[in-house]
Amino acid sequence: MQRDVPRFRDLSDFLRFIESRGQLRRIREKVSVVHEITEIHRRVLEAHGPALLFEQPVRADGNASEMPLLTNLFGTVERIAWGMGITPDRLGELGALMAELRAPRPPHGIRDAFEKIPLARAALATRPRTRPAAPVQDCVAMGPDVDLARLPVQICWPGEPAPLITWPLVITVPPESATADQEENVGVYRMQVLGRDRAIIRWLAHRGGARHHQQWKAIGRDMPVAIVIGADPATILAAVLPLPETLSELRFSGILRGERPDLAPCLTVPLAIPAEAEIVIEGFVSATETAPEGPYGDHTGYYNSVEQFPVMRVTAITSRRQPIYLSTFTGRPPDEPSRIGEALNQLFVPLIRQQFPEVTDCWLPPEACSYRIAIAAIKKRYPGQARRLMLGLWSMLPQFSYTKLLIVVDDDIDIRDWRAVMWAVSTRSDSSRDLVTLTDTPIDYLDFASPKSGLGGKLGIDATTKIPPETDREWGVPLAMDPAVVARVDAMWATLGLSGMPAPVLTCKASSSASAAPRAPQSACASSSCWLMIQTTRFISWFRPRQSVR
């Protein structure tokens, strides 16, 4: 895929680029990592402001850190797209490439074969190269020299018990692969600092790191782990993409970078790490020892309950000579993960369309805690189609299994306009016919509104136009002004003395829906988008590479 921006070999390359675009602000004042950076970050992110490089962060112990702290790196969709090598308007194109990789089709001729050359190049870019040494190992601390307190780790919210590492890329492998051909997983799991060489890793049971840990526990062995803090943007973003378990995040980063990733062996654990990373923490996650984690602020806007999670023992900390500590906070949206989700939403729509061609758009509002509400628009052709889609989406992607409310509308509805969606719900659905309810289904265990931990209900609302035999009544015809009248009023608007009035906020979106039976023409009021997108979600069913590294 052709890049719109230069290649970024490391984090500093990316920072120089965004600074040249006015998207990086250097903070030279001393600012505490205890709450103050969170509050500054929160305000800047809400205003779609720049990335922030705190040059003198004050650690929790009151001492100024020599290591700068970077936050809000991906606080806008524009910077997220740049990190993937493209401009925001091409996110859908990247999603189409991902859909093609998921189910590649054989070429239908010479021209089609040439058009697939970029796809072949993308696949080749997933093969990592191994380097004997790496910049991230210029500085090494082992044994008694290991000290997590030297890092400017944030305490984000009042009442949190200890510093929390919030942007760690956690690399794990299953025990049967911990030799030559590793099958690695890279996930982002927060880490509570317990002491000089101990930390808690918190992961949900369905995540790749937790699955690998269970496999190591089953044979009674501690699990080797490598924690990467700060890397080139493609590697960071690949770690948060909802890739399938059969594709290594480090391999996929090669597609985003446009070149093969460079890896280097760790010093104390049998794992490979990005050679151009900023900081790496090596160690072992105990098969038996756990500790109470939390409470910490989360994307729900609440503090999590205190629960037991496994403890990691640190064996080495390596870094560049002048490393940058990457950090963030999570809280009620907007936060950085919700902005990343806004960009990811544009990536996975082509993947959904591949399985459900009738879907024209899908939206997960960030205000709904990233994935708990989804709205899908379809070209309706037959009765019951909306219900079929609901059941399909709840089953298709892991994160959709956590979606509590799914609204399906016709393709004449702007699903990013809540007023248009509510108009469709209120005029095209009836609670005696159009509600789909499920009980005792998998749900986010962090959702304490559910009656049971990890089990809850789902509600689907069919807000599409009804066709026989869904209804026996004549369906209403939506109001729409004559386009010729709209054009005449537009032409005379400047002469009416109303120039200070806002432009009309409601417009009619022509319907392109086709149905299985004749029905009234559709056109719904839709206005400009008023909802942002979420985070992240795990979704892509992918092709299985030859030796993935998970």
Residues designated as active site? 298
Half-sphere exposure of residue 403: CA atoms within 13 angstroms, side-chain side: 33
- Give the separation between CA 171 and CA 272, rounded to whole angstroms: 8
Cα 417 off chain centre by: 22
Q: Which residues of 251-268 are buried (b: 16+ CB within 10 A; e: fewer)?
A: bbbbbbbbeebbbbbbeb
Looking at 117-265, list the stretches that DSSP marks H as alpha helix, in order from N- to C-terminal side.
117-124, 208-218, 233-240, 249-257
Give residues with Cβ within 8 angstroms of 532, minimum separation 6: 333, 334, 338, 339, 342, 365, 366, 367
| Matching residue, tokens 């720049």 | 50
Q: Is 499 exposed, middle or buried (0-12, 13-18, 19+ CB in 10 A)?
A: exposed
> Which candidate, 44, 42, 37, places its Cα nearest to that of 58?
37
Instruction: Give the three-class secondary structure for 145.
Output: helix
Vertex 468, ends 465 and 472: CA angle to 5°? 95
Calpha distance 44→527 (Å, rounded): 27
Question: How many CA atoms are closer than 13 Å to the CA of 157, on its beta-carbon side?
Answer: 19
The torsion angle over the Cα atoms of residues 128, 129, 131 and 136, rounded to 10 degrees, is -40
Closest CA to 239 of 326, 178, 319: 326
Residue 411 contacts residue 360 (beta carbons within 8 Å): yes
Query: Rounded to an integer, what distance in angstroms lies between the CA atom of residue 210 and that of residue 312?
Result: 13
DSSP 238: H
**Category of 370 on φ-ψ map: left (φ > 0), alpha (ψ -120 to 50) or beta:** left
From residue 188, alpha-carbon distances to 76, 154, 204 in Å are 19, 16, 11
